[in-house]
Chains A and B, each alone.
Chain A
Amino acid sequence: GIQVEQSPPDLILQEGANSTLRCNFSDSVNNLQWFHQNPWGQLINLFYIPSGTKQNGRLSATTVATERYSLLYISSSQTTDSGVYFCAGLTNFGNEKLTFGTGTRLTIIP
C-alpha cells in the first residue's frame, strides 16, 4: 500500500491567519481526500481531490499528482477550524481501502 505523510504535525495560529497543510504520498493515487476531525471525533469530508484545485469557502486544496503531494489552504482561520486534518489516499478505484496520514493538529487561538 501507499505511504502518506503529513506536515507539520502541529500548527498553532492566531485567529485570522492563513495556513498551509501538506500531504505527501509515495505512489500515484486515484483518490485523495482531505478530512477535518472535530473535537467530538467526527470525520468531516472536506475535499475529494485526486488532481487539480478545488475551493470551498475559506478552504481550498490543490493536488499535484505528478509530484505526489497535496496542499490544503485555510484562509482567515476561525476557532472552529481547530482540530486534526487528515489526508488519505488510495491507488486503485473499486474495493480499495484508504490509507490515512498521521494528521496535522491545528489550534486556532482567539
Chain B
Amino acid sequence: EPEVTQTPSHQVTQMGQEVILRCVPISNHLYFYWYRQILGQKVEFLVSFYNNEISEKSEIFDDQFSVERPDGSNFTLKIRSTKLEDSAMYFCASVDRGIQYFGAGTRLSVL
C-alpha cells in the first residue's frame, strides 16, 4: 500500500538554526498538509498546500515557517530560526477522496 514518507525520523538542532523537514506524499495526491503535535498534546494543523501554493495556514504558521514543493515528489517544511517551543512531532499528510494519510512523523528537538 502506498504511504507518505517523512525524513528524518528525528532531528536535533540548536536554537536559532534552520531546519528542513521532508515529506514524500503519495503520488497522484494533490492536497498536502503539515500538522504539529507538542508532546502530550493534540495534533494541530499548520498549513495546507495545493497547486503549488498555500491554501490555508494556522496562526502557528508565522513568518519563521515556509513550505515548498521543489519538485514533483517532495514537500518540505522549513523553520528558519528554531525556538525551544518548536520542539514537537511534525506530521505530513496527503489526501485522496477525503481520506488523509499521515506519515510516521519527524520528531524535532530544539536544544
Contacts and interface: CB of A to CB of B under 8 A. Distances in A.
A31 B98 contact: yes
Interface in B72-111: 89, 91, 93, 98-102, 104-105, 107
Contacts of B5: none
Contact of B55 (A30, A43, A88, A95): A95
Interface residues of A, number: 24
Q: Mostly helix, strand, loop or mixed at chain B's interface?
A: strand
Given A30-B98, A31-B99, A43-B102, A97 B48 contact: yes
Q: Mostly helix, strand, loop or mixed at chain A's interface?
A: loop
Contacts of A98: 33, 35, 43, 45, 93, 100
A35 interface: yes
Interface of A: 30-31, 33, 35, 40-43, 45, 48, 50, 86, 88, 93-103
Which 3 A-B residue pairings sit nearest by Cβ, starting from the closest?
A97-B45, A100-B43, A43-B102
